[in-house]
Structure 1
Amino acid sequence: MIRNIAQKIKLFSSPRKEFYLFLRALFNSTPNNLKLYETALTHRSASKTDSQGNWVNNERLEYLGDAILGAVIAEFLYNRFPNMDEGFLTQMRSKLVNRSFLTELTFQIGLNYYIQSNTNNTKENSHIYGDALEAIIGALYLDKGYQVTRQFIIRKLLLQQVNLDEIQHTNTNYKSQLIEWSQKNKNDVDFETVEKTTSDSRQPLFQSTITVNSQLVGKGQGASKKEAQQNASKEALAKLDQLDV
């Protein structure tokens, strides 16, 4: 007990106090392992080394959080829409775990302020923020267990931050929209996606360009070919005044 009191005194006399209080308010639960959450918000471009010389960043926690988030959202949608088929549920889940959507959530809850990164990526073209949200979910799961994590995702994110009716009627598959538009209007659409070299060699970056009838209409970047093509398609649709939002 004396040791716990000493740890709390040390915590509240350190610069980590603000971060601790932020997490407590965010989760509606007292965090136990603050270092775990700090790791969750450390992008690989800002990786640190532990006492054994191993690189420490949020990639493993992101992997874990992605699985937890997907499971909770799947259960939530299953219960929320009891009369809808598998196709609808899959599409809704895809919209809710979309990187752009997770990035918006990250900013809405203020988590972006605490992310450690040495990249120059912006909110519009970066996956860092969405990855950090998944990583913090992974950290919460390890620190507090499944039920606390489930409550956070449902109560704090899905019920407070998400308009399900709006999401339901929004088509975020921009590439699909663009292809449908091209077929309807008999236009030739070509995608060219290449991997770019970055200052952080461990971080892949893809760049996609789209031409319609040999004219450039969209560019986009992403951590995967799919993400880059989606971002390029969104820009193309906006230029063609066909963005379905």
Structure 2
Amino acid sequence: MNIIRNILNSRSSKDGNFFLELSKILDYKPKNKELYIKAFTHRSLNLKDDKGNALNYERLEFVGDAMLSAVIASYLFEKVPHGDEGYLTKMRSKVVSREHLNELGKELKLIDLVVSKIPTSNFGNNIHGNLFESLVGAIFLDKGYKKCDKFIFKKVIKPHVDIETLEGKVISYKSLLIEWCQKEKKSFDYNVYEDTGNDDLKHFSVKLSINDKVISKARATSKKKAEEKASRRAFFVFQNEITKVF
């Protein structure tokens, strides 16, 4: 495919030997090179194949996400025989959380391999996790489940999955706080409003009330971040009570 060859040529001239660097991460030589090229091609290039299908990493993300969930689920099922469905689901969510996947992508410096019309400095933080998922998807489609399982075990499970540590890890203070409020029959309210400060970026402020009393306040560049920050602060106010329930 000419488009694929052109991308490969541009990588070679810009970044040195793309597949040499990739092989250091994979510990093997890719068989279907087109998959790995797609895995690091950003949608901003607006590339399509001969049939008009998009050539970028987003579909591979879908596959990688599924494979990560399957491999982690299988590992937890064997490792924690006493864990019920709810426990195993929460533990898996902690391993494959967006925050953790972003950390894995950064650790492997995957952003150095991406080709895009957008400067990498302009990407949001989630680009790192997206690339990690797309790489996992490419590995599965190229080498199958066994090789994919081996890669995930080496890069994710062995260095980062400790059951005891995971049990105490909170991936969303907002979700935890809401669940606690519901169990304890407490009312809660996130009053979010646009903050017209002097910042270049738009900010949002939030007041978190529990049982009609303001418990915490926070400010961030998005409503979601502001709510999470306020929830974290509220968590530490009620930490002793919350940990008794969970």
TM-score normalized by the length of structure 1: 0.71
Secondary structure in structure 1 of the residue aligned to 2:207: strand
Amino-acid identity (%): 35
Q: For residue 235 of structure 1, report the CA deviation from its aligned partner.
A: 2.0
Task: Pick the aligned partner of 2:207 from 205, 211, 229.
Answer: 211
2:148 aligned partner, one-letter code: T
Q: For residue 164 of structure 1, report the CA deviation from its aligned partner.
A: 4.1
Q: For residue 158 of structure 1, report the CA deviation from its aligned partner.
A: 1.2
1:220–1:235 CA contact under 8 A, matched in 2: no
Are residues 1:147 and 2:146 paired?
Answer: yes
Describe the shift of the 1:146–1:180 C-alpha distance in structure 2 as closer, same or farther (beyond 3 A). Answer: closer
2:190–2:227 CA contact under 8 A, matched in 1: no
Q: Distance between the aligned counterparts of 2:47 and 2:102, measured in 1?
A: 24
CA RMSD of aligned residues (A): 3.5
Q: Distance between the aligned counterparts of 1:128 and 1:34, measured in 2?
A: 21
Secondary structure in structure 2 of the residue aligned to 1:29: coil
Match of 2:112 in 1: 113
2:218 aligned partner, one-letter code: V
Match of 1:131 in 2: 130
1:152 aligned partner, one-letter code: F
Match of 1:67 in 2: 66
Number of residue pairs matched by the alignment: 212
Match of 1:204 in 2: none
1:43 aligned partner, one-letter code: H
Match of 1:233 in 2: 227
Q: For residue 17 of structure 1, report the CA deviation from its aligned partner.
A: 5.3
Secondary structure in structure 2 of the residue aligned to 1:210: strand
Q: Distance between the aligned counterparts of 2:155 and 2:169, measured in 1?
A: 22
Q: Distance between the aligned counterparts of 1:151 and 1:165, measured in 2?
A: 23
Q: Distance between the aligned counterparts of 2:161 and 2:109, measured in 1?
A: 15
Q: For residue 166 of structure 1, report the CA deviation from its aligned partner.
A: 2.1
Match of 1:78 in 2: 77
Q: For residue 108 of structure 1, report the CA deviation from its aligned partner.
A: 1.3
1:235 aligned partner, one-letter code: K
Q: For residue 114 of structure 1, report the CA deviation from its aligned partner.
A: 1.7
1:87 aligned partner, one-letter code: G
Secondary structure in structure 2 of the residue aligned to 1:48: coil
Describe the shift of the 1:28–1:235 C-alpha distance in structure 2 as closer, same or farther (beyond 3 A). Answer: same
Q: Distance between the aligned counterparts of 1:90 and 1:159, measured in 2?
A: 19
Q: For residue 187 of structure 1, report the CA deviation from its aligned partner.
A: 7.6
1:49–1:55 CA contact under 8 A, matched in 2: yes
Q: Distance between the aligned counterparts of 1:208 and 1:98, measured in 2?
A: 24
Larger radius of gyration: 2
2:48 aligned partner, one-letter code: T
Q: Distance between the aligned counterparts of 1:21 and 1:193, measured in 2?
A: 49
Match of 2:22 in 1: 23
Q: Distance between the aligned counterparts of 1:150 and 1:40, measured in 2?
A: 18
Which has the larger share of helix? 2
2:39–2:57 CA contact under 8 A, matched in 1: yes
1:89 aligned partner, one-letter code: L
Unaligned residue ranges in structure 1 (runs of 5+)? 1-9, 195-206, 222-227
Unaligned residue ranges in structure 2 (runs of 5+)? 1-7, 195-202, 240-246
2:55 aligned partner, one-letter code: V
2:207 aligned partner, one-letter code: T
Q: Distance between the aligned counterparts of 1:116 and 1:161, measured in 2?
A: 28
1:179–1:189 CA contact under 8 A, matched in 2: no
Q: Distance between the aligned counterparts of 2:115 and 2:55, measured in 1?
A: 12
Q: Distance between the aligned counterparts of 1:103 and 1:171, measured in 2?
A: 16
TM-score normalized by the length of structure 2: 0.70
For 1:82-122, what per-residue CA distance to the aligned partner results, in whole angstroms no more than 9, with x for missing partners?
A: 22222211101011111111001111122232233427233
Are residues 1:189 and 2:183 paired?
Answer: no
2:177–2:235 CA contact under 8 A, matched in 1: no
